[in-house]
Structure 1
């Protein structure tokens, strides 16, 4: 057998696959395989519709029939001029035509860009293949490194990518998948691997090469499956491994025999083996003790009075074993209890004596301390006297002992320190590799729209990056690169859109002390209320011309649009109605006892609604504003409410970023999806569209963003607004598909991409 084939197909277990994948290996008759080789294909169709499965089944049936039952086969077999590549090319040409006919008949609307396929045939050590799409192919071949003999030759495997599909294939016909054929020879003991695009992102080429060159193809596939099960369960992995089982021809040399074998030579070889074994088993450290000992030993033997070394034999002593006598368990317990009792009894007697005679006990302690001090002095003087009386030889030996003791301690310390540093460096490298791997998994999860899994992986990755930064020798450039990658992936998960903001006008040109607080959008104009200055400004939507609408409007702390042409501005003591035709109408009815009792106002169907967090309710006013009724019918705590809006449902925004939805005065099931980073200090809520298919907008000035959700609570995107000042309020212009920002004393606008 010239070759071995093995297939890998691992479907996700935690999510529904987003592609249709198949790895097919033909099973021809023995004579067909001996004459034409074995056919295979790997395909990944970017669709899970039944049409994709039909197309895979068509390939499985049509490709073997077009190749093994070719019209040119019988004639060329008789002439002895079989060319596998030409027969394979003829089969692909027929397959292209049959595929186009099949797609028209079954009404399959799949473009070649969505069909990733590679099919081929392996015959002996020859390989011919053709493909379309983004599948990968790798050639793994061995290079033998020259060594002293054949046994010590080491195989080094190299990896070379192969081109599956040419760039010109994108210009093919509507259903033309195969346009060229690549052919070549698989090197002896070489491998060809075909994979889908996602597999190399989880298993590196080097690691994949190590597995398949170490294990047989079937075992290698199982090993890869086990590793992929631990890494990811959301994507599909597919691969086909082809191994050339032939071995290269090796020029073998006959080793020379050592015929002069004697007992002395045998003993010398045993001695060399013993020395080599001792060298390998000896502990390694800063100080090479064996080398130092050999140096001293050789120097001593060179002295003239040194004794000659005689050969002697050592006889191992016999070791006789005797059975130990053991006490019973109760005897051990009794002895331990007796010891504990004696200790506590002694402590009790000593404590009693100390407390009964404190003066005598203190004097005894002082005498004992003086005696101990005196004995320590005497011992130091005796030691010093002993050292002085030592001979020069003994002093030298003592110095050598001290030096070697210090070297020994230093050697142990250096060895432990080296091992600690090596372990830390290894952990550092493994941690870096783990972070890279998780970042690749995040990209794959985003590719397959698994944002929940990507967010969990991103949190893990950020924790690992923080752990990596705590290493003393951490590469700050690497840390910055990893954090930058995390930031980019966070923006992808968070659907961050940079708002292209440009300025409309500056109200300080109209009033140097302008302090606008509220903004109301009408059909053709935008009204801005400046309560501290009792001023009302107007901006034309058509030409962005701004002007002072009124400079004597004392009750304009809050504002809302009653209809497209009428706006109402009010305070606790009253308000004014402003029409698009530049007319005013005063409203003398008080709306609350104090301005602090009004959190915000809005309107629906021409009726005014007032949110009062202090009074813990929402009030609905009559059309003439003379009376109001409590709208909420449930006993709820809304003291932390900051804003609200109505489109049939009432949406209530709270300080912590939560939104509660009401219908007919009662809470209605609603929950905003989680976003990154979470909402923590929102201030303004706006709505657009109808009550079922529109959008919810939440402004968070501290993060300089506007988060957008649909009316079911699903997160859509968040606009990142790069302005230095905090955003006071905003308005949504659905017709113009723009968002107007009130920033300080200026107005800005940007395009709302969610409305397009």
Structure 2
């Protein structure tokens, strides 16, 4: 059986105010990379999230990119080269003037390929190996006490071999301050990673620790992993999202209430039986002896019945039935009649009575004498054992329901109380934000955004409408303070499972998770699924090719499906390099692959596309880019919100966008521009979705919010016509700037 790593990340869904903190897992999708193993990264920088998020993510991206592009046959050599490249990148960052992170970086980078583990560490983050009953402190003594130097940030590398069922945990110091390595032993060895992470999360929440971060790893087999239930294969546990889980609530009720109650009940019953047994033991022993004697006599009589006549048998049966009726009227209602016994020549011995009759008579005598004995003792039940069992089960069931109901009522009451407090906090926070508008507009914006984020926690509660009103008022205030215009959709169409949408010359197009493609004439409100063609639903890009009025659907399987916008029933498939974003310029395709740090260009040659060529020239890097747009120049949007402008494969300009009140782009998603547009549009989706319009030199112009959308919507913008289409939540919304 082949080995596989079962892992769970314990992290937070929200950014930490005082530090950059993340743990990530990179599992390659390409077959040739899968053989090289997975990379597990844990990075903590003890400085505010921005701009340290750029540094932390750069470390991770650099190691991943350099390792998988390595050409050496030794995985260790390739990993060592990737670590060295990360150090060089950090040195370049320090030379540019960003030095606040030096001495405040805690990180562990792990490569696991089959059973081989390679690890590099810096700072105070630690890793432990749990093998059977032993604990091995993997990173003990690795941290150097020398003065920090960027080129020597990751200056150690250790390797080892894992065994099946080995457990490894990587975590920061905040985690180990609450849960020590020895305390982890029982949790780690008793549960799979997902359950172990949940148990640790409960301990950390109880201690109000939200700045902990960990990765739980277990070496297992594909067969074992496949047999685990879904709730034990969760890849991410969020420390700041405790939630309310019915399964875990029932588990808690059973473990804390029902099981102890049953133990007390059966413990008392056991003691009662033990005491009664001591008193009844002599009587039972004597009774057993007497019963044995009676049984032997009855069986001997049964064996001698063959010498008696049929009339004698009938008399014995009648007499026996009379005794049975006297002893237990509720059990036997009628005496057996002699006429019921018919001679059977096949079952006679020596031509006398049937053998079955002899045995029945003997057993009846044993049963009668045994019952007489129990009646004399006074312990023969007045009712049948079936009724005793039924009554007992009903009582146990009622007890369990009572306990569960009581605990559920208590939990629900406490939950409602907490929800009410949360609503009051939102109301108080809104008033604080309004007061801050006078003297500290930046703080007011921050408070309003926090309200919008926190109000989502009250969804599906009886206070949901009130929370939504407070969030809506907060958005209005933010729009006023940040010069944001809220756009209303002029068209809303329902499309079940919609994933992506794009804008053509006369029509809009949308794809769904069911492999369908829809089209809509712009002047109409509804989409039509007239195309019978099915396309791959796992797409990362859907763009319009204006030169030939075609649609390109780029999927994650390195393929592109090209459809005529006038006839969605015909398509051709082209091979594409692996990428995460695609753009077009004069029908030529440009594809971004930030892992391989490259932009590929594919030129249109008649009705066909040629082979991809590398667009970038060294030392240009797009390792931290998330999207690209083209108007003749190529613009790349970086994770930190900066924009690179490239020409002929080289960077000619990099600019940072200055937003009102020192606001920052927090979660950049997409970038759009065009030949006939003098603007660049950026989609930013931190807590709620917004569109930022800037000049092509980086000067801020305006920003927009889209009514009825949220950060989960996929956005496409036609910068030349200033049209927007938003796809999400089974809807496609159209806007006009």
Pick the TM interval, shorter chain.
0.3 to 0.5
The higher radius of gyration belongs to 1
Given the two structures, how large is their TM-score scaled by the length of structure 1?
0.33
**TM-score, normalization by structure 2:** 0.34
Higher relative contact order (CA closer than 8 Å, sequence separation 6+) = 2
